[in-house]
Amino acid sequence: MHLLKRPQVPILLAAVAGLTLSLRAQERLPPGPADGVPLQPLAQQVRRLESALRYLGQPVSAADHLAINEAIALADEQAAASRLQELLDRHVLAVVRINPESRVSVEQGAAKPELVQGGTRLFLIKVKNEAGVTAPMTVQSPNTGRVYVPSRGSPEPRMELTAAQVRERWAEIAIFDRPPMRQRLSGLGVEYLVLQIYSRDAGQRSAVVSFNVGQGSQDVGFRNDVEVLFTAPPAHPVRLRVQDEQGKPTTAGFLIRDDAERIYPNISKRLAPDFFFQPQVYRADGETINLPAGAFTIKVSRGPEYVPQTRRVEIAGPKELSFRLERWIDPAGNGWYSGDHHVHSAGCSHYENPTEGVRPEDMWPQIDGEALNVASVLIWGPSYYHQKQFFSAKDHPLSKSDRLMRYDVEVSGFPSSHAGHLVLLGLKDQDYPGAKRLEDWPTWTLPILRWAKAQAAVVGFAHSGWGLEVRSQDLPNDDLPGFDGIGANEFIVDVTHPDTVDFISAGDTPYVWELNIWSHILNVGFRTRISGETDFPCITDDRVGLARSYARVGGPLTYRKWIDAVQAGRNYVSDGRSHLLDFSVNGTEAGTSDSEIRLDKPGRVKVTMRAAANLDTLPDRSIRQKRYDEQPYWDLERARIGESREVPVEIVVNGVPVASQKLAADGTIRTLTFDVAIDRSSWIAARILPSSHTNPVFALVGGKPIRASRRSADWCLNAVNQCWTQKAPRIRASELEEARKAYDHARQVYRQRLKESEQ
């Protein structure tokens, strides 16, 4: 990897030193004394620093965090700023001074120069910026494996290194300058940066580390570098034996911390299949992880159907650790297979360069380690041309009989993205007819949905809530969203065209926004289903399968059977911590017999299901105190009744709860029965909100179609008009007339259903 070349500037004669200063080195704010740094910007910077260290897996200690809070709260702002510096200075490896002439000098700080073999340690750099410079801070060292490019001319060819040169280049040293940190100095008199140092070797190693803020900013006498003697204890291979509940070898997620709360392997220098944006790593039975000597806490998990384990271990040398996993529930054992239909291997938290992203071999541990039965890895805008090589219209060869990985498409980063992102499952051909590049695809959604349906694909809208924000938390409610996002926006139009859209997604956006439009659509007689998704690693990069669909599949699992079950509504959405199995009305299970029952006249129906949930004994207040529009959007903790270990199971008719029973969230499956009055043609579903939701059963009374609400029909009509105002300006001129006709068709449909609605 080469250091980016910096722009050259005319040579200026310096009055004292006669050296050159780069343009960047002269970028500055009005200088101020370092010791008099104001509290407010310093405190804000410290908060950003804490966030970065926590993200990188080496958080400040609880004691330091408390001391930082106490310092910021001091009434004397100068004393508070001094106290903050005292707290941080203990972790500073290098103190860098930029004098008023922008010359850089450096001294070693108070931090212990301790590393770890084969791992990364984080230190702080303290910058005393007397010149108010706002250029990037650059670190260099002859002891790194990087080859730096001279500032003039083209890079020289890479030369083969001698054994001595290899020995000297034992480290990787870099400043972490990605969010929440900055790429440039702020100009504040004192600020702190994060320095990452990776050590290839064990033992004592010396490194010369230099800093500058542009060519010519080095101090006279080579005082802009410092020689540091590091010590790196050896790392030992720890072999992990992992078995599932049946004693079979499997894969699990491992979150490993030492007593200083540092995460192993360190997040900042991970390479796939270990992802740098996750605290955990995944290991299959027999694989290893390297750890130095010491005490560690290991948390082992395998998705929400398993009971997490925590173990304290001591490492003194090579070691083998065995883990036997335990389930609290096994839906697949009853034919209910979990799936996440929206997973990515490129873009967002992944690498975004056109030839990057990760390979199927890197996605597989994520899927297997979270016990997902089905995962749809969707190719989309970032890295589309590179990732499409993995599309085959077949299960990937890494798949197993009960665990399937299939590459399909999300229409995102395409010309139609403004109208709503589309999930296309079970495609036979991923290239739109006549399109030679992404820019040639349609600029609205209906043509794409029709093309995919012609291939017998199962299709729907992704992250449905975006653009459908409403103020009311009632379900359904009359608030009209902006239809100005990338969720289920043009869904309001497309659903009026027969056999066009099968589902909208749920689980990865605020549940009120998702379920509001779905309830209105069902209330006017459409039968679109819902399916759970994660949109990993975009909406969340924590793990795949945080929201899932559990689909009932008869016989051996296949991808086709699973997506057909989603299309039929023989599935429920869940965060995996609550389950609504075998939901039936008058003996008809959702997703069978067209999900339909018939009543000659108004009467009562019998609703049955098997329900289970699993909550920790003590409430998690960090989740309960969040607004519903803050992540995690779907989480069983939000459904907890008070301080108890119970959650409500509700029966909804036309989107409104009509019956409820408390369910002990102790992991036990219980059969629940409800007696519900139906006075007109209606849809009926069950939910533990916001953790799980079934698809509906449709009850037709006297042979009449469902026209449950004039308010819903009026809402849908107004929604079409609002959607047109947002989407029409971005529809290609050659497609605008066809789109106008499609919107007019939707208006006519909703006007007719408004007339047919009884109340």
Closest CA to 631 of 640, 639, 622: 622
- Write down the pLDDT at residue 356: 85
Q: What is the pLDDT of residue 336?
A: 98
Q: In whole angstroms, how far apart are CA 313 and each of 235, 239, 295, 296, 542?
A: 15, 13, 6, 5, 25
Would the pLDDT of 28 be above 80?
Answer: no
pLDDT of residue 370: 98
| pLDDT-based confidence at residue 5 (cuts at 50, 70, 90) | very low
Tell me the percentage of the chain whose pLDDT exceeds 70: 92
Q: Are 565 and 531 in contact (CB under 8 A)?
A: no
Kindly state the average pLDDT of the residues 343-370: 92
Residue 275: its pLDDT value, please? Answer: 95
- The answer to whether residue 501 scores a pLDDT higher than 60 is yes
Q: Do residues 117 and 170 touch, judged by C-beta distance below 8 A?
A: no
- The one-letter code for the residue type at 706 is I
Query: Does domain 330-574 fall into CATH 3.20.20.140?
Result: yes
Query: Using 50, 70 and 90 to split pLDDT, how confident is the model at 166?
Result: confident
Homologous superfamily of domain range 235-324:
Immunoglobulins (2.60.40.10)
pLDDT digits (tens, 9 = 90+) for 287-335: 999 999 999 999 999 999 999 999 999 999 999 999 999 999 999 999 9
Per-residue pLDDT of 40-97, as tens digits, reads: 999 999 999 999 999 999 999 999 999 999 999 999 999 999 999 999 999 999 999 9
Contact 133, 185 (CB under 8 A): yes
Please, which pLDDT band fits residue 218 given cuts at 50, 70 and 90? low
Q: What is the pLDDT of residue 221?
A: 60
Please give the CATH number for the structural domain made up of 577-708. 2.60.40.10
CA distances from 134 to 461, 505, 675 (A): 44, 45, 69
> What are 419's two structure tokens?
């109208």
The DSSP secondary-structure symbol of 520 reads H
pLDDT at position 279 over 60: yes
Higher pLDDT, 153 or 574: 574
Q: What is the mean pLDDT of residues 623-652?
A: 96
Rounded to whole angstroms, how far apart are CA atoms 613 and 664?
Answer: 7
Measure the CA–CA gap between 344 and 377, rounded to whole angstroms. Answer: 5
- Per-residue pLDDT reduced to its tens digit, 678-701: 999 999 999 999 999 999 999 999
Average pLDDT, the chain: 92
Please say if the pLDDT value at position 159 is more than 70.
Answer: no
CA angle 661, 663, 664 (to 5 degrees): 150
Q: Distance (Å, rounded) from C-alpha 104 to C-alpha 262?
A: 32
The arithmetic mean of pLDDT across residues 429-454, rounded, is: 97
547-563: average pLDDT: 97
Retrieve residue 420's tokens. 């709503």
Domain layout of the chain by residue ranges:
23-149+168-231, 235-324, 330-574, 577-708, 713-756
| 577-708 has the same fold as 235-324 | yes
CA angle 386, 560, 346 (to 5 degrees): 20
pLDDT band at 438 (very low <50, low <70, confident <90, very high): very high
Q: How many CB atoms lie within 10 A of CB 643?
A: 8
- Work out whether the CA dihedral 164, 166, 170, 175 comes out positive or negative: positive
The predicted pLDDT at position 153 comes to: 39
Q: Give pLDDT, residue 219.
A: 62
pLDDT above 90 (res 268): no
pLDDT per residue over 459-498, tens digit each? 999 999 999 999 999 999 999 999 999 999 999 999 999 9
pLDDT of residue 17: 32
> Residue 152: pLDDT band by 50, 70, 90 thresholds?
very low
Model confidence at 653, in pLDDT bands (50, 70, 90)? very high
